[in-house]
């Protein structure tokens, strides 16, 4: 297993057993070799507490599963969280914390939480993002249909972060047709770094993700396991879920301009016309 892990793509950051703080996976701008996006997942036992300063970054805490009390310098939200497993497919509780603040997460039950981070500018106050605040939509049709939870879309206040979670049924594709957002070419395309945090049900399954550029200077197809993070520094990045399994991923995006403008791979853009409702 260790030998296999060392042979993995540099775009895959595998999860591991929790360390003393509960951390199971970590991506920083330095480790990813980019500028904007940071991402962590913590698995906390009942009663365990995580406390961190945000520094120069704004943070969106997403309660993946379990319940917790979350506080900032000036606010506190007691016993939030409703789903015990992401595959319940109910919208999550999340909390936005600005830069130059502090957050504390106290696990009311065993809890898994994602810490999504990007540069902050001090423009917004800490706030709760309740399930009713999360926009739910069904995107695509046929075998590219998937369920979207818009946790922190560009229509909601933040300085840099865009956060969304996606549920892909068995045998379906998502982030499809392949699209990219790696150029500052507004209003047609925005530059956004992106992480994919994958969960698979049942746990023994896998998903497949490809990341590739037009000139194929980057072209990798990866087998991704439950709990792995895929880095998307550039290029197209479709996901495929094998029959018999369900896929979930939490996306974090950030760049110099907080807007999601993407460009479909012209070789495959025609597929959208096939699925027009």
Q: Are 144 and 176 in contact (CB under 8 A)?
A: yes
- pLDDT tens across 223-262, in order? 999 999 999 999 999 999 999 999 999 999 999 999 999 9
Backbone angle region of 188, left / alpha / beta, with phi > 0 → left and psi within -120 to 50 → alpha? alpha
Distance of CA 174 to the CA centre of its chain: 14
SS3 content of the chain, % helix, strand, coil (to 5): 10, 45, 45
Mean pLDDT of all residues in 125-147: 96
Q: CB neighbours of 19 closer than 8 A, spacing ≥ 6?
A: none
Mean pLDDT of all residues in 185-214: 97
- pLDDT tens across 144-166, in order? 999 999 999 999 999 999 999 99
pLDDT at 3: 40
pLDDT at 8: 67
pLDDT at 79: 98
Return the percentage of the chain with pLDDT > 90, whole number: 92
Strand order, beta sheet including 102-107? 49-53, 102-107, 68-71, 76-80
pLDDT over threshold 60, residue 5: no
**Cα–Cα dist 277/270, whole Å:** 15
Backbone angle region of 89, left / alpha / beta, with phi > 0 → left and psi within -120 to 50 → alpha? left
Q: Are 153 and 118 in contact (CB under 8 A)?
A: no
């Amino acid at each position: 297993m260790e030998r296999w892990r060392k042979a993995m793509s540099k775009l895959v950051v595998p999860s591991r057993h929790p360390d003393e703080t509960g951390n199971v996976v970590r991506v920083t701008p330095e480790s990813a070799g980019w500028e904007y996006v940071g991402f962590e997942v913590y698995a906390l036992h009942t009663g365990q507490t995580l406390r961190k300063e945000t520094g120069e970054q704004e943070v969106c805490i997403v309660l993946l599963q379990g319940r917790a009390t979350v506080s900032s310098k000036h606010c506190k939200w007691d016993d939030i969280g409703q789903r015990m497993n992401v595959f319940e497919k109910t919208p999550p509780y999340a909390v936005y914390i600005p830069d130059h603040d502090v957050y504390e997460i106290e696990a009311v039950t065993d809890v898994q939480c994602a810490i999504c981070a990007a540069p902050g500018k001090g423009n917004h106050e800490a706030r709760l993002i309740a399930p009713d605040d999360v926009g739910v939509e069904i995107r695509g049709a046929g075998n590219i249909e998937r369920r979207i939870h818009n946790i922190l879309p560009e229509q909601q206040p933040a300085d840099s972060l865009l956060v969304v979670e996606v549920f892909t049924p068995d045998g379906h594709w998502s982030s499809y047709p392949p699209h990219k957002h790696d150029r500052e070419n507004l209003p047609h395309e925005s530059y956004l770094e992106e992480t994919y945090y994958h969960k698979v049900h049942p746990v023994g399954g896998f998903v497949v993700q490809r990341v590739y550029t037009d000139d194929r200077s980057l072209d990798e197809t990866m087998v991704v396991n439950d709990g792995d993070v895929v880095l998307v520094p550039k290029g197209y990045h479709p996901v495929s879920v094998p029959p018999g399994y369900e896929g979930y991923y939490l996306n974090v995006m950030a760049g110099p301009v907080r807007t999601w403008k993407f460009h479909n791979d012209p070789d495959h853009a025609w597929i959208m016309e096939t699925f027009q409702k």
